[in-house]
Structures are given as structure tokens and as C-alpha cells.
Amino acid sequence: MDTAEVPTDLKSALAALDAHEPLLLLGLRETQWLDAKAGPYDLANPRSVEELAKDAAAFANGGGGLIVIGIATRLEHDEEVLDHIVEVDPTAVNLDQIRKLIRQWITPAPRGVRVGWSGGDGERVAFIDIPAQAVDTLFVVPAPVGKPGSPRTDTVAVPIRDGDSTHWLPRTEIQQLLSAGVRASGMPAAQALTELVRQAMSEAGPDGGPRVGQGLPDREREMRTAYEQLADEGLGQPAGEAWAQGTAACQDLHHERDGEPGWVLCLVAGRPPAAIAAPVWQAIVEAGRHAPGPDPLAAVGLPRPAEDTDTPWVIAADARSVDVDGGSWGAGRLTCSGRGVWRWQPLPRFSVNQGRSAESWTAGQTPALRLRAVVNLPWAEANRLEISKPRRLLLEQQLPHSATAGAVTLLSRHRGAELPAARWERGPFGNSARSAVYSCTITGPDGGPALKASVMLALPTTMESTVVACSDVLVENPQAWAAAVGPGWDTRLGFDEVQAVLLDMWETAAELLPDLVGDPAGLSWAAPPTIELRMTCEQPADNGVLPALDSLVDLASLGTNDGGTRSRMAVTITAAPAMIRAERQSLLREALVHMAREFGYVDAEEDLL
């Protein structure tokens, strides 16, 4: 979201909060979808708990809405206008308790409710996001009594949102709704009400609440069987109706011990049933929160067992790792740091799909051979990142000692020369507040370019939403390079040299360049990150035809090519950018075998590289 964009609707207001820019909400008026609270709900006060349930249920009944905690309002022309931020003390707001109370007090429990923080020091607010619900569902709460205790099961009240206020549906209108239901049944009033009570009693769970599987009649028996198989885990009773998540069936459950986090019962076709502790489930949902579309789980997928098994399994609240798949992001793994922060990373896989930035920063260049590593970093809220002057200066100090610089020196050292890549200059493409471009040129005896190394990092633009880091090693002129290293040396690269150079460029693009924007470990993904490794011949012969790769790179170790000669080869790896060198080296070999086979070297094997 552009930081200058002022929210005009619920979607853009949520985008501002997700971008940690709550200041953008100031000046908005409380409306059908927006309610502001200067201070947090006092969850020790029964009246405040009832107010929380009333506010959340009203938005659920009214097409969705947003409660922002920590913004004071002013009265202007009989309307409440969001005026200034009253920073909320994080210790005064228990997000987990808010989630639990909403599930406990509202029937049925609204789906997809999100509770979180937005903003930094001095402007921190909390928010409750109640998305639009099924249009044929009415959300009710117990009639307020203002006294301590569990929600009453023998009373009902219907909160609704009307403009910028929340109030109770009048008794006369509730009576009219009941009368309409009785008329639709075609029975006398007494018989219709008796039938409704009988049906409610037969469908209710043991505590008068919803039963296991209620809401998904076609899968109710399956869900009850799964629940019984997991009974020893203390799952407690349903907290709301079951729902379909794609082809999966899910249902929220209270924990049987008060104060403990609840569970989500999850049934995925072809897998054993699973019980996922509510905090872990919330972490999975949050991992996909920044993906395009309204459903985070459609992106990140659902939990799957680490090993093939037919036994029902449990992911407890103290779990530190969970595998997920079935979403548009492909297979991934969430891991929890020692500080309790969950982070999603893709499980490695390969393709030959080319990204939009594969050939960026090549205009006006025609090297004989280009070796390239492009790392695509689709960070959430990347528009807020910047390249600071201190970090740019630090990069300039590090480049002569970088892995890419070492790769250039390695190529000359293999040919009896010591040509260090020590002098890095800005360019050849423009540097700005949102891009950094540096290069180092090794010249031949005549002063012409022989080898060149380049690194580039670009922050998102209106045309590209992803942060892109790139490292190149270019054989500009084989003859000039041969003259630079001395007579008798072959400038054709061995495939072992190609592997070493690609490994070093990948390390530079994935580890060194992202530090230009701060600490990448604290950023979440909006899509899976990828690494593209490329070999391209770009200098046409006299007849205008690009030479074959094997004229500049010894590809004999790949075996026979059944697809004909090629001037370029590339592979894309979907994987976490940062990893230890041994893991990167192993993944590189797998990727190069995949690339070779896709480009006609069907006999390529890792042990031959």
C-alpha cells in the first residue's frame, strides 16, 4: 500500500494496519464498518466482556467490520471522528483472551476473526478484524446481566450495527423474525416452536452447545469418529460449528481445562485426522495473511504429518515446527524461534519457470558469457523498506571481500594469475534511494574489459512488488581475459568452476545484499521466495547467431544432449534464501541436475558433476 494512501473502506483500513501505519486512520469517521476505542476492554469486568461480545457480534451481523483499540475520537457535526492515538500498553491487552471470549460468547462463533497489533513505539494500537460472514447466519449473544460467570445458555440477544453505533435488535423485531420462521414452517405456532426446541435439543452437544461436526452434515460422522480417536488429548467441546476449508473439514474446540488454549480439529482427505493447538493454528493463518486474496490458508495450506502415517496426530501448543501443504504456495514448513516468532519457509523444489526480473539490468550489455544468480524476495510490506546511507557504505566496504569477488579471483587463480576483484564502483545502472548497483571490472593488457562482477538490489516499484537481489559474473571478452592471465591458459570454463561461481553469487545475493534493508529475519513472506541460476551466451557471432553454451563452458560432465545445442540454460529454486553453505551446495547440485535434464541432458547425475 502506498504510504500516502488514505483509507476509504474496510479493506484499505486493514491494509493500513497491516502496514503498521495506524496514523492513516486518523480523520476517518466511525461508520458501519469502523469503531474506535480509546482504551482497551477491561476483561476482568463482566460488563466489558459483554460489550466486547456485543461489538464483535454486531459487525458479524452487519457484513464485517473493524474495532481499533487505542484511538480517541472527537465529536464533529454529530459524528465521532478518529482524532489521535492513545498508545496502548501491550500488557493491558490479552489478544488470546479476546479471541477466546469472542468464540465463547457469540453463537455461532464468527469465522476468521483476527486480533493483532499495529504501529510502533508511540503509535501502537490493537485491532479486532471481523470479516464478512455467511449471509444466512444470525449471530447472537447471551442477554447482558453485568455479572461474573459463564455465558447464559437460556437467553439470547441480537446486536446490530447501525451507522456509527451498536445497539440491540428490539424485542418486537425478534418476535417478527420468529413469527416469520413459524409461518415458513407451515405448522401452528406451538407445534413449530416445539419442533424447533426438539431439533435444537437433539442437535446440541452435551453442554447445550454445538455438536462435533455440526454445520457439515455430510462429514459429521467422520468428524465424530476423529474426535473420539483423539479423545485422550482433552480436546473439550466444540466452540462453534464446523466449516469447510477447501476440501478439508475443521472445527474449533474449547480446551477441557479452563485457561488452556483451545484446539482445531482438522480432517484432510487422505491423511489421518489432526488436532492442532489454537496458537499453532493461528500462526499458520498469520503466515499466509499477506498473500493476495481473502483466505490465508488458501495460500499456505494445512498441516501435514512429517511422515506417512494412518494414526491420528496432535500438534501441541509447545510445538516448534509444523509442515504444511495444499495451498498455492506449495509445500512449506513453519518454525518457531526461541523468542516465540513463527516463520514460514518453502520446502525446496525446482522448475525452469522464469521470473519477471530474470533479465533485468542487462540493457546495453553483450558479454560473451553471463553467470547470474537472482534472488526474488516477496516480503510483506516491502514498500516500507529503504536503503539507508550507513548500510550502503557498509556494503561498499564488504564487496571486495564478498563471495562474488572471491569467485572472480578463483577463476583467474585457476589460470595461474591473481586478479583480485578489489575495486568496486557504483553503476553501471543507476543508484537511488530504492536501488543499489555496483560492479568491478578486470581489464586486459589493452585496458579493455575481460571479466566483470556486478551486484544489484532493487526495492519494489509500481511495476514490480518484489525485492530483487542479483549477482553477475560476466566473461566480457575471452581474448582479453586470456591475455590478462597469460599465454597457454584455456578460458573455457569447467563445469566445476560454473558450480563454484554460481554458489558464491547465490550466497552474495541471498545473504549479503538483503542486509541493505535491515534485518531480513524479521520480515514475513507475501509469496514464496525463489532463486534463479542462469548461464547465457549473449554476444552474437559475425552471422548474428548466439554461440552454444558448450563453446564457452565444458558441459561434458552432463552427458549427451538429446535436445540440440543451446545458448542458455536456467533453473529456478523455490527455497529459503538464507541457509548454511553446505546445504546451499547440496541444493545447487540438485538444481543443476534438474536444469540439465530439462534442457536435454537426460543422463545428468549428481555424482557426475
Share of the chain above pLDDT 90, in %: 55
Specify which of 229-233, 311-315, 403-407, 558-562 reaches the highest per-range mean pLDDT: 403-407
User: In this model, does residue 3 exceed pLDDT 60?
Assistant: no
Q: How does pLDDT run across 313-340, given as a tens digit for each residue?
A: 999 999 999 999 999 999 999 999 888 8
Residues 592 and 491 occupy one common structural domain: yes
Residues 538 and 599 occupy one common structural domain: yes
d(CA 127, CA 114): 8
Q: Tell me, what's the pLDDT at 319? A: 94
User: In this model, does residue 111 exceed pLDDT 60?
Assistant: yes
Strand ranges, E, within 408-492: 425-426, 435-443, 449-458, 467-475
Cβ-in-10-Å burial (0-12, 13-18, 19+) of 9 comes to exposed
Are the CB atoms for 99 and 88 separated by under 8 Å?
no
Q: Which three cell numbers stand for residue 172?
A: 418486537
d(CA 147, CA 138): 25
Q: Could you tell me which residue, 136 or 528, shows the higher pLDDT?
A: 528
Residues 372 and 426 occupy one common structural domain: yes
* Residue 360 belongs to some domain of the structure: yes
* Residue 187 belongs to some domain of the structure: no
Q: Tell me, what's the pLDDT at 202? A: 46
Residues 300 and 446 occupy one common structural domain: no
Q: Which three cell numbers stand for residue 138?
A: 444470525
User: In this model, does residue 590 exceed pLDDT 70?
Assistant: yes
Q: Tell me, what's the pLDDT at 2? A: 44
User: In this model, does residue 87 exceed pLDDT 60?
Assistant: yes
Q: Tell me, what's the pLDDT at 262? A: 87
Q: Tell me, what's the pLDDT at 192? A: 62
- Mean pLDDT over 354-361 rounds to 89
Asked which of 78-82, 459-463, 585-589, 596-600 is least confident by mean pLDDT, the reply is 459-463
Residues 356 and 338 occupy one common structural domain: no
Asked which of 187-191, 226-230, 375-379, 526-530 is least confident by mean pLDDT, the reply is 187-191
Residues 406 and 508 occupy one common structural domain: yes
d(CA 321, CA 235): 21
Domain boundary among 347, 373, 394: 347
Q: How does pLDDT run across 287-306, given as a tens digit for each residue?
A: 998 898 888 999 999 999 97
The alpha carbon of residue 334 and the mean position of all alpha carbons in its chain are separated, in whole angstroms, by 11
* Residue 287 belongs to some domain of the structure: yes
User: In this model, does residue 310 exceed pLDDT 50?
Assistant: yes
Q: Which domain holds residue 507?
A: 350-608
* Residue 499 belongs to some domain of the structure: yes
* Residue 408 belongs to some domain of the structure: yes
* Residue 449 belongs to some domain of the structure: yes
* Residue 1 belongs to some domain of the structure: no
Q: Tell me, what's the pLDDT at 190? A: 65
Q: How does pLDDT run across 204-223, given as a tens digit for each residue?
A: 555 556 889 998 989 999 99
Residues 272 and 399 occupy one common structural domain: no
Residues 362 and 217 occupy one common structural domain: no
Q: How does pLDDT run across 234-265, given as a tens digit for each residue?
A: 888 888 889 999 899 999 998 767 667 889 99
Domain boundary among 347, 363, 390: 347
Q: Tell me, what's the pLDDT at 248? A: 94
- Mean pLDDT over 482-505 rounds to 92
Residues 311 and 355 occupy one common structural domain: no
Number of separate domains in the chain: 3
Longest dimension (CA), the chain: 106
Q: Which three cell numbers stand for residue 112?
A: 476468521
Q: Tell me, what's the pLDDT at 201? A: 43
Q: Tell me, what's the pLDDT at 197? A: 52
Buried b / exposed e across 351-379, counting CB within 10 Å, b at 16+? eeeebebbebbbeebebbbbbbbbbbbbb
Q: How does pLDDT run across 422-448, given as a tens digit for each residue?
A: 999 998 888 888 999 999 999 988 888
Are the CB atoms for 411 and 497 separated by under 8 Å?
yes
Name 433's Cβ contacts closer than 8 Å, sequence gap at least 6. Answer: 386, 387
Element (H, E) at 504: helix 495-507
- Residue 1: pLDDT band (50, 70, 90) is very low
- Mean pLDDT over 477-485 rounds to 90
Average pLDDT, the chain: 88
- Mean pLDDT over 173-187 rounds to 75
Residues 336 and 376 occupy one common structural domain: no
Give the domain CATH number at 120. Answer: 3.30.950
Q: How does pLDDT run across 503-554, given as a tens digit for each residue?
A: 999 999 999 999 999 888 888 899 999 999 999 999 998 888 999 999 999 9
C-beta neighbour count of 340 within 10 angstroms? 9
* Residue 481 belongs to some domain of the structure: yes
Residues 455 and 554 occupy one common structural domain: yes
Q: How does pLDDT run across 390-422, given as a tens digit for each residue?
A: 999 999 999 999 999 999 999 999 998 988 999
- Mean pLDDT over 85-89 rounds to 87
Q: Could you tell me which residue, 498 or 99, shows the higher pLDDT?
A: 498
Domain boundary among 347, 370, 405: 347
Comparing C-alpha atoms, which of 371, 339, 413, 325 is closest to residue 508? 371
User: In this model, does residue 386 exceed pLDDT 50?
Assistant: yes
Residues 315 and 362 occupy one common structural domain: no
* Single pTM value for the model: 0.75
